[in-house]
Amino acid sequence: MNKRTKLMQSIESKSMVKIIAGIDNFDIENIKKVICAADMAGADAVDIAAREDIITLAKELTDVAIFVSSINPEELEMAVKMGVDAIEIGNYDALYKKGLRITSQDVLDITQKTRNLVGDDVFLSVTVPGHIDIVEQIQLAQQLEAMGVNMIQSEGASVANVQNTGARGLLEKANVSIANTIELTRNIDIPVMTASGITSTTASMAFAAGASGVGVGSCINKLSSTIEMAATARAIVEAGQKIKAKKEALV
């Protein structure tokens, strides 16, 4: 079974787990740990920055699906030419840290240019900005679906809007992202992946809310060792598998 087929099966069963190294993470040693942890934990995908050496490293280290994230269409085209399994417009944290905000029109423009460059056969996920009003999020998601996007990723409140740090801050972001997931899944037919603040606890909440997958970043990539990362990632993978088993038992 090839990676694309396996990825699609995980999405269809609503149990996909993507481990995010970070769109602005260029720390090679940290990225190695994140990729190896994802592989050890049985995750479905890793999400890395759009840089050639990082893509090469990921292809050498793992057989799980490789996502590359960027808001630069030319970088995403480069990643496709290097043979990655999926591309993502999103993970806007790097922008938020600079005090910037991406608009719906920005997202549409980047998506259209990216599709023009890479064609329609490449798996494309697009993050809907979490800082815009939910009505606008739904409208944007519907427009993206009409453009042939394969998956929407929901997002929690931007960093500036979260009042707490640590576990409480993650929970605040997860609550917003899960609420956005519920609204988006009600209004579009393509899969929705929940990201922002996802942990082994909030992953279960996201899957129960209708997410086809979860994107997990800071609760893993901020840990110091591969073993710690793998253990945390495994707990999230198991959360998805438990939800999947419960659904299958009801059929």
Q: How far apart are CA 196 and CA 214, in angstroms?
A: 9
- Rounded CA-CA distance 72/240 in Å is 31
Output the pLDDT for position 3.
83
End-to-end CA distance of the chain: 25
Residue 34 or residue 240, greater confidence: 34
Could you give phi then psi for residue 226, rounded to 5 degrees? -60, -40
pLDDT over 50 (residue 198)? yes
Question: pTM of the full predicted structure?
Answer: 0.91
Query: Percentage of residues in the chain with pLDDT exceeding 70?
Result: 94
Rounded Cα distance between 236 and 104, Å, is 31
Written as one string, the DSSP assignment of 184-242 is HHHH-SS-EEEESS--HHHHHHHHHTT-SEEEE-HHHHTSSSHHHHHHHHHHHHHHHHH
User: Looking at residue 9, what is its pLDDT?
Assistant: 93
Nearest-Å Rg of the Cα atoms of the chain is 16
pLDDT in tens, 40-86: 999 999 999 999 999 999 999 999 999 999 999 999 999 999 999 99
Task: Give the closest residue to 10 by CA, choosing from 47, 42, 58.
Answer: 42
Q: Tokens 């970070």 — which residue?
A: 22
d(CA 128, CA 220): 22
Q: What is residue 104's three-state secondary structure?
A: helix
> What contacts 60, CB < 8 A, 6 or more positions away?
none
The pLDDT tens digits for 208-251 are 999 999 999 988 999 999 999 999 999 999 988 887 777 777 66
What's the pLDDT score for residue 2?
Answer: 80
Domains assigned to the chain:
3-250 (3.20.20.70)
- Counting residues of the chain whose pLDDT is more than 90, the rounded percentage is 73
Helix axes 226-250 and 200-208, enclosed angle (nearest 10): 30
Q: Rounded to an integer, what is the distance from CA 173 to the centroid of its chain?
A: 14
Would you say 184 and 152 are in contact if contact means Cβ atoms under 8 Å apart?
A: yes
pLDDT the model gives residue 160: 42
Task: Taking residues 174-188, report their average pLDDT.
Answer: 93
| Mean pLDDT of the residues in the chain | 91
